[in-house]
Amino acid sequence: MTEFSLAQLISVVEDGSDTPLDRISAAALLKEQVERLGDDLLDHFVKQARDDGCSWTQIGEALGVTRQAAQQRHSDVTERLMRGIAEGRELKRFTDRARTALLKAQTVAQERRHSYIGTEHLLLGLYAAEDGNLAVRALSELGVSREAVEQGVDERIPRGGAEVSGALPFTPRAQKAVADSVGEALKLGHNYVGTEHVLLALRQIEEGIAAQVLAAQDVSHAALVAKIIQLLSGFGLKPSSPD
């Protein structure tokens, strides 16, 4: 089993932060990422056990908790996550615009009559969030319009037929994008997660529809990084200033 040492985590923080206070902020962000990944890991195997026919009583015993506690903690994961994002309890290091984009992704999926939230919905959610966010500005300056993105998504994923409602599940790739956005922030030495970091994470998941749409527009991850750094510098924003 792979183990992560304290020394490795310290190295990650020190590599992306210059001052003691920046390191504290970066360490807090990394701690949240590790905890989130741990929760996602456990949720994955609990779902797998349920799919294999295990009862909540058996799962509770494996976890060392009651059946009720296991069921409450691990059922309706997506609904709990979306409610937490809306109330500001989840992803507290994410900026308001970034959280709004995640919530808008569900609306986008519902409007397209898709029963899940994929990377394509997260990408369109960036456009559906507050106008002028850094992700959208970066794409615009790289020559990518909202219309081009919508067309690219439509060409790859046709709209569904039946209406959908309620909390929709994130696909594994969409979940990875949300988690990886924290890592993108750390790479840039930022102590917050903004729309730009979500965009960078989406571009890195090559198998995702979002990355395919951006690649078709000749937008690489490196180009996005360069443009985001340029925009932050041009707007006079410091690395710790949230978008």
- Tokens 């905890």 sit on residue: 35
Q: Is residue 64 part of a domain?
A: yes
Residue 240 lies in a domain: no
Q: At what angle do helices 195-204 and 119-128 cross, to 10 degrees?
A: 150
Global confidence as pTM: 0.68
Tokens read off for 26? 């970066």
The predicted-structure confidence for 65-91, as pLDDT tens digits, reads as follows 888 888 777 655 555 655 566 555 556
Q: Which of 185, 219, 223 is nearest to 201 (CA)?
A: 185
Q: Is residue 241 part of a domain?
A: no
Its domain, for residue 103, covers 6-234
pLDDT the model gives residue 120: 97
pLDDT at 191: 77
Q: What's the confidence (pLDDT) of residue 213?
A: 97
CA-based angle 208:213:215, to the nearest 5? Answer: 95
Q: In the predicted model, is pLDDT for residue 239 greater than 50? A: no
User: Minimal CA–CA distance to 231: which of 214, 219, 243?
Assistant: 243
| CATH number of the domain enclosing 165 | 1.10.1780.10
In a domain, 23, yes or no: yes
Check residue 104 and give its pLDDT.
92
The number of domains in the chain is 1
Judged against a pLDDT cut of 70, whether residue 122 lies above it is answered with: yes
pLDDT at position 99: 87
- List, for residues 144-197, the tens digit of each pLDDT value: 999 999 999 999 998 888 888 777 888 989 988 988 888 888 888 887 889 999
Report the sign of the C-alpha dihedral through residues 143, 113, 170, 29, in that order: positive
User: If DSSP states are collapsed to H, E and C, what string results for 113-175?
Assistant: CCCCECHHHHHHHHHHCCCCCHHHHHHHHCCCCHHHHHHHHHHHCCCCCCCCCCCCCECHHHH
Evaluate whether 202 touches 123 at the Cβ level (below 8 Å): yes
Is residue 174 included in any domain, yes or no?
A: yes
Percentage of the chain beyond pLDDT 70 is 83
**Cα dihedral: 83, 149, 221, 234 (round 10):** -90
Q: Are 201 and 184 in contact (CB under 8 A)?
A: yes
26 closest CA partner among 198, 243, 239, 232 = 239
